[in-house]
Each structure stands twice: as structure tokens, then as C-alpha cells.
Amino acid sequence: MAIRHQLAVYSPIPIGAPMRGVAAAFRLTKDPRPALIDLLRREFRASEVLLVGSGTQALHVAIESAVKPFAGAERTVALPAFSCFDVASAAIGANVSAALYDLDSDTLGPDLESLERVLAAGARVAVIAPLYGMPVDWQSLEALATRYGATLIEDSAQGHGATWRGQPLGTLGEVSTLSFGRGKGWTGGRGGALLERWNGGRVERLNGGTVERQSSFVPPFHRSTVPPSVRQEIDSVIGLIAQWTLGRPAVYGIPHSIPALGLGETTFHPPVQPTAMPRAAAAAVFRATEPSRREAECRRENARWFLERIPRSERTTPIRPTDGSVPGYLRLPLLVAGGMGGIQDACRALALGVAQSYPQSLVELAPRLTGPERTWPGADRLARDLVTLPTHSRLTAVERDEIVRILQRPSTGRS
């Protein structure tokens, strides 16, 4: 029985990152978080940076900060109807109502008419979450937001290595969020960041477990929960070592074959109270800066290779990049009629790292659903038909060829 199982997504963790994480966790070196904050300020042109325990927590804080000035219907946040389940989790944690807007299934960007209807109904905050590093038309979104006095939150959790009109994703919004969790383009095993560009400073900074208030904004942290505990640091180190070990297809295949572990499954995670990023995670993120840039180049190159060879048909359609964009291709998104059920040798495709995208829209997950939209045809199509191909550096030339051959085979007619 073959053990090898290709990863759907791979994030580089340099061999020295776990050891640096251990040293930082047990305070054998200076706190790496201030240096990481300085790096993020420079790389993403941010006035303030808040490091938290995950990208979901960063989005939670961003939503809560953005809706604070509003009351009633204006405290509703507009969310994409199809996205990572953690987007819904962040909105639940922020204790807001949600109105879902549809997506353009050809580009993965917001359906502007749907989003406008949601804003016209009263929502004054909208989360924009480019999937798989596929940039959206930010200029059109900003023009729409300006008409309604709305704030756009750029959730760039999957945007590492992507640019729009020469600007990296994560630099476009008044407030942006990053994720350094497992499976992201730039990882420390866990952790996230909120990047703020509002004048006056509306976020708090967490340095060394202490809270320094900035301006009048007070996010929902309790001082007793802010400092990372020893348990959080230990969990962070264990997670780093596990991710480094499992980042090899020959090793990953062993735990992946155990159904109880649920590896590769898409699940909903309930929100947790935001905490500071562990020192261990910050040290690993800092160490992975250059390897992550090289990995992003590899993802783009593999995506270009696939796009030159994947057969175009009514059954198989690559997602169309937005004009002026350079996608990061955390994975290569592809519309296949029937999703994985429309691929003839789906079992072999799964073993090669091909995967169904999110298996359902956020309709059943979003909190206190409101707003004018009642149907989301773009989101429904994506939940049914969107699959992703691996683009990372662990993918071999032989595996790339086999994936293309599988996609070239006639459909089985299953759905």
C-alpha cells in the first residue's frame, strides 16, 4: 500500500525555526515580537500592528473595531457568502449580525451588485477575503464603499505573494489582517496580525503580554487572557515541530490515512477570546520570511505550468485573474463540473493533493443572518464545483504531469 500522500498546501518552516521557537518560548532569547512588528510595518506600510493568536482572532478584532461607532442595522458586517469558515467564526466572536453578499464565481471576487445591495440596506463594514491569493478589483470596491461611507476590512489570510497593481495584498485596506497559521503562505505554525492605517490609531498593541492603549479604541481583550501562557507557548512549539515533520508527502501519508485525525478536512472552529501571539510563533514567522518569499515564487511558477496545460472546456475552467493582478496561488482554483465528483479518478487526484474547496457556503454558519440577499448563486456554484490544485515546492514534475492527465480524462458523469 502506498504511503505517500501529497499535501494540498505546504508552508515552509526552516529547519532552525522550531529551535528558535523553543528558545523564544522559554525566554532564552529576547522577545521576537517587537522585531516582527517592525518588519510588518515596513513590508505592509502599516501605522500600527497588533499581533494576536491567529488570523481569525485578528479578523475578530478588526470587525469589532470597525463596527464600534455604529448602532442598529449599521452594526451589521457584510461577509462573502463563500469563504473560509473562519470568516464566520470571527464574526460570531465579534458578536455582530452578518449580511452575506454573493461572489463572482468566474473570478472569486465580490459580486459588486450584490455587495451594493447589502451596503444600501445599512451594513457599514464589509470583509473582503481574496481566496487562494486571487486579488480582487480593489479600486471598484473602494469606490462602492465610499458611496455608502463603509469600511473595507482586507482579510489577506491567503494573500501571501500576491499583488494588485504592484501592491502586495495586505496593504490595500484601511485595516488588513494576516494569518500565519498552518497552511498559509507565510507561517509560524500559528498567529495572526492586524495592520492598521487609520489616522489616530484605533487598535491596541500587545508587546510582551502587556496592553498599551492607542487612542480611544478598546477591543475586547481581558488583561487576564492577553499574555500567552506557558501552555500556549508549549503548544506553539509542538505545532511547529509537527508541521515541520508532516511537511513531507511520504510522512504526511501516514497520519492522513487515519480518519480519526481528520487531516485535510474542512471544519468550523468556534471563536475563542483573542490573545497575544506566542513568542515561539513570532520567532518562527521571522525566521521563515525569506523561505516564504521563495516558496511564493515556486507557487506562481507551478500555477503558470498548470495553466498552460489544463484543458479548457465547459467542464473545466480556471478562475480568471483580475486585471492588474499577480495571484499568489496558495492553491490553483479551478471550476470542475461536479467538483471532485466530476473527476474520473478522484481517489488518485486526492492522493496527488487535488482537493475540493470549502464544501458549503457560509449561509448555515454566519451569525444572526440578515440583509436583503436571499440567494447566492455564485457561492452555490463555488461550493459545488470549485476544486484546487497543489502549487507548492513539494510537488514533483511526475505528479504535475499525472494531475493534468487526470483532468484530461472524460467526466464520469457523477455529481
User: Is 218 a residue whose pLDDT tops 70?
Assistant: no
d(CA 238, CA 232): 10
Please count the other Cβ atoms lying within 10 Å of the Cβ belonging to residue 324: 14
pLDDT in tens, 177-215: 999 998 899 999 999 999 998 654 444 433 333 333 333
Cell numbers linked to 112? 459588486
pLDDT in tens, 131-169: 999 999 999 999 999 999 999 999 999 999 999 999 999
In a domain, 297, yes or no: no
- Own/partner contacts of 66-69, CB < 8 Å, gap of 24 or more, are 66/125, 66/151, 66/153, 66/175, 67/94, 67/96, 67/124, 67/125, 68/217
In a domain, 230, yes or no: yes
Per the structure, the count of domains in the chain is 1
pLDDT score, position 409: 83
pLDDT score, position 19: 82
**Whether 205 contacts 186, CB under 8 Å:** no
Q: Which residue range forms the structural domain that includes residue 274? A: 17-291+359-377
pLDDT score, position 266: 65
In a domain, 369, yes or no: yes
In a domain, 233, yes or no: yes
pLDDT score, position 257: 60
- Coil, helix or strand for 52? strand
- Coil, helix or strand for 28? coil
**Whether 355 contacts 264, CB under 8 Å:** yes
In a domain, 345, yes or no: no
Q: Where residue 28 sits, what CATH number does that domain have?
A: 3.40.640.10
pLDDT score, position 214: 34
In a domain, 11, yes or no: no
In a domain, 168, yes or no: yes
pTM of the predicted model, to two decimals? 0.89
- Coil, helix or strand for 34? helix
d(CA 44, CA 34): 15
Question: Which of the four pLDDT bands, split at 50, 70 and 90, describes residue 262?
Answer: low
In a domain, 328, yes or no: no
pLDDT score, position 290: 95
**Whether 100 contacts 363, CB under 8 Å:** yes
**Whether 5 contacts 395, CB under 8 Å:** no
